[in-house]
Amino acid sequence: MRARAFRTIARRRRAACLLALAGLTAAGAAVGQIGGRFVDVIEVSDHDDQADIAVQFNCSVRYLTHLPASEGVELRVELQPLADCGVGAATLLTSELPPVSGGGGILSAARIESDVPGQIALVLTWNRAERFVLAQGIDPRGLRIRLFDRAPKRGKIVLNEPGETVSTISTRS
């Protein structure tokens, strides 16, 4: 009777291990289906006094938070991959360097990091300190960032030539 109980326990352990292994394999296959990258492309469009950055993801992500709030040399956006990414909640994801289109004078580096299991961080490093706003919008596969006040500050010097000679009158009482 005792040997039969041990065999049952051993069989259950093997089944649990095989199930866990199958789950890991399925998660890896799902990541492979999205091309192995989270970011499809980062497009930068420079305008007169603003720049627009459009981040296109290969699967749906949920915006969590970003730091700093509105100004800095680096922007870190925390995101959670959704079900169509095929990533488990306890999975620590690999880093990647996403492709960037345009913006050579604006964006010096872009990368995806994963410090927390089941989450990714999009890190954008600007060439100089920038003021920005960001929004995910309706599409969970996209993120928009706008840099503003980009035009160089120009000082103004105004010269007025006096038309007549100015004389000073002093009155003493």
Q: What is the structure's pLDDT at 157?
A: 62
**Mean pLDDT computed over 141-146:** 97
Q: Most distant CA pair in the chain: distance in Å? A: 126
The DSSP bridge partners found for residue 61 are 81
Average pLDDT of the chain is: 81
Is 164 within the bounds of a domain? no
Judge if pTM exceeds 0.85. no
Mark whether 9 and 57 lie in a shared domain: no
Q: Which carries the bigger pLDDT value, residue 15 or residue 68?
A: 68
What is the domain range of residue 140?
Answer: 37-148
At residue 49, the 3 state secondary structure works out as: coil
Mark whether 27 and 2 lie in a shared domain: yes
Is 100 within the bounds of a domain? yes
- Binned at pLDDT 50, 70 and 90, residue 26 comes out as very low
Q: What is the structure's pLDDT at 75?
A: 98
| Per-residue pLDDT tens over the stretch 56-67 | 999 999 999 999
Q: Which of 6-15, 38-47, 151-160 has the highest mean pLDDT?
A: 38-47
What CA–CA distances, in Å, run from 59 to 20, 35, 53?
Answer: 24, 10, 18
Number of folded domains in the chain?
A: 2
Give me the percent of the chain exceeding a pLDDT of 70. Answer: 67
Mark whether 68 and 15 lie in a shared domain: no
Mark whether 27 and 94 lie in a shared domain: no
Mark whether 14 and 90 lie in a shared domain: no
Is 92 within the bounds of a domain? yes
Mark whether 110 and 71 lie in a shared domain: yes
Mark whether 20 and 85 lie in a shared domain: no
Q: What is the structure's pLDDT at 146?
A: 97
Mark whether 92 and 8 lie in a shared domain: no
Is 90 within the bounds of a domain? yes
Mark whether 46 and 109 lie in a shared domain: yes
Mark whether 68 and 135 lie in a shared domain: yes
Residue 90: CATH number of its domain: 2.60.40.3470
Q: What is the structure's pLDDT at 93?
A: 86
Chain centroid, CA 163 distance in Å: 59
